[in-house]
Amino acid sequence: MATGIAQRRERLYVDGEWIETENALSVSDLAAGGTFARVAAAGPAHVRTALEAAHEIKPRMRETTVVERAEWCESIAERLREREEELAEVIVREAGKPISSARGEVEQAAERFDRAAEEARTVVSKGEYREGSTAGHEGWQAIVKHEPIGAVLCITPYNYPLATTALQVAPAIAAGNSVLLKPASKTPVSAAILADVIAGVDGIPDGAFNFVPGEASEIGDLLAGDDRINAIAMTGSSGAGKHVARESGMINLHMELGGNAPAVVFDDADLTDVAGDCAKGSFKYAGQRCSAISRVLAHESIHDDLVDLIDGQMDAWQAGDLFDEDTAVGPLISEDQADWVAELVDDAVEKGAEIVRGGSRRAPDGVPDELADQFFEPTLLANVPRDARLVDEEQFGPIAAITTFEDEAEALEIANGSDLALDAAVFTGDYERAMRMAERIDAGAVRINGAPSHGLGDVPFGGNKDSGIGREGIDASIHAMMREKSIVL
């Protein structure tokens, strides 16, 4: 049950000070309607102060030890767990996520800070000793060590407003960097609570962490284009990522962007298991996940059977009260996003796809009128033609789109036809075929006989083509947020 949260007012956190502003972001309540929070919106002057603070503290952060930084991360994890119920309710309201998923996100965020502490210790303890091995370098001896990269700008998304924020902030702090956090303007409240947690940890210097929510159109380019930023960690759309890359210049970019994951299903796969995995992969969090299964490529001989089996899974993926533990699906983040999903479904149907279930906006009973148009039914489309836009474009909606292929070559052609290449899945009982497909599919990660999942980030993940730059994961991110220095003795 919801606790009837009062309207919140959150502030900026810059150079160790909490700051009120005249302008504020209004955060919609996706559970009850109305506005449940107002978050101070940073303007250019606040951003300049934060940039200067993050820059000035770099030498002091570089002198901190990994032991200190690991203790900070462990303390942050502990404090997040202490505020689990508060954070879970905030995530439900600002992101429209069912309560069971929201609680899991809080624990995932805490675990990422714990893991960052462990991984940082490992990274700094593995410097290298080298000897010269070329003419003129005979007798040379060198130490290759890791050091912080400097100031890291973290640009975080709305769909996992705490867990993805932790995936960026935890490794940045653990690596010894100063941080500027710019959360999604639709979901800044959980990030504000994280800022409060970090501000309360003993030993973190003023300026080492700065919380600067605001409209991207107002402050985004000012942050991304400043020469004092040494790295940008970003999760978002491909279009937004390309814009940030154009603004940023010659710095380290660490970006996980849009996805359109194909699930390639062969005729020797266990179709019952496939149906469960594809339903979860398509409908979890109403499909608003970069790793969501956006298109199911079924061998032509099993298309009808797989459609029937996925249809049989769909009763478990219905919208309801977000504070009900059994609710599986909530609203989309905005009416605009629902418009986008409807546009893609309409395009597919116009080109010949069959609606097996869903296909329109429908809110569950009791939803306030103002939120009704943000609900889109979990939708199953069969016989989707290859020229349908949703075969190649990111959906971010609850759609399972089934298309067919004749052989491996055609499956690869469809799977690799999109400009997006983040995740993929292959379902087959043939090990050699599974490995052959996994090696040939253009994606940052391919899961065999299971839906894509990024988990805590223990296995590196990230995109090819327009789906990003670099690889994320706590260990991978720490490496990306440090640089190597060779000291020749």
10 Å Cβ neighbour count for 199? 15
DSSP string, 106-126: HHHHHHHHHHHHHHHHHHHT-
Helix (H, G, I), strand (E, B) or coil at 405: strand
Report d(CA 328, CA 383) in Å as an integer: 26
Asked if 105 is an active-site residue, the reply is no
Residue type, 399: I
10 Å Cβ neighbour count for 273? 13
Helix (H, G, I), strand (E, B) or coil at 395: coil
Q: Which residue has the tokens 């996994």?
A: 438
Catalytic residue among 10, 256, 377, 393: 256
Hey, what are 311's tokens?
């249809």
Residue type, 152: V
Would you say how long the chain is, in residues? 489
Sign of CA dihedral 413, 418, 423, 427: negative
* 3-class SS shares of the chain: helix, strand, coil, % to 5: 40, 20, 35
Report d(CA 67, CA 212) in Å as an integer: 28
* CA 47 to chain centroid: 24
Hey, what are 149's tokens?
């990269």
Helix (H, G, I), strand (E, B) or coil at 342: helix
Residues with a known catalytic role: 256
